[in-house]
Amino acid sequence: MASELTDQRLCKIELDEASIGRGTPDQEHERAVAIYDVLEANEFGLASGEPGPFILRLALQDARLVMEVRGGDGTALVSHHLSLTPFRPVLKDYFAICDRYFSAIRTATPAQIEVLDMGRRALHNQGAEILKTRLEGKISCDFNTARRLFTLVTALHWRG
């Protein structure tokens, strides 16, 4: 049974190259860390009960988040297209506070940086909750996995 649980995980994450906008070095680092972290420890399963591990490909297409899930052997399993509308207010606020945070770490006091970081984390948590809610009945994942996947969703929006 323990091996079944460990199979309900992601073994690889791919970001659609056409969807990715290059970000600042801080943003690029955050994306790389998120991919590494999610692959190190995650809980991810399909509502269909299909056994894992899974490969996840994230893309933006026609103003929708596309989550293509394949089996560990590359076999296509399911593709979910999620409206980005519920994410827009959180993404807007998240990017604004991230800009302020990354500027502040160079010049602000530790107390000011901490306040911005708390706000950034709160918005990140809110984005993760929205993602978990949007995936209900399709994909199950724990909160930490949803948080790291939300980081990757933000990475797809760094264009422009």
Cβ-proximal residues to 100 (8 Å cutoff; 6+ apart), any chain: 116
Q: What is the pLDDT of residue 146?
A: 95
Q: What is the pTM of this model?
A: 0.85
Q: What is the mean pLDDT of each run of 10 residues along the chain (160 residues)?
A: 63 85 72 87 93 94 93 94 94 91 90 92 96 96 93 74
Q: What is the pLDDT of residue 5?
A: 45
- Mean pLDDT, the chain, integer: 88
Matching residue, tokens 């076999």: 75
Residue boundaries of the structural domains of the chain: 2-155
Q: How far is CA 6 from CA 11, 20, 49, 53, 111, in A?
A: 11, 30, 14, 8, 40
Provide φ and ψ at 42, rounded to 5°.
-150, 155
Q: What is the pLDDT of residue 2?
A: 38
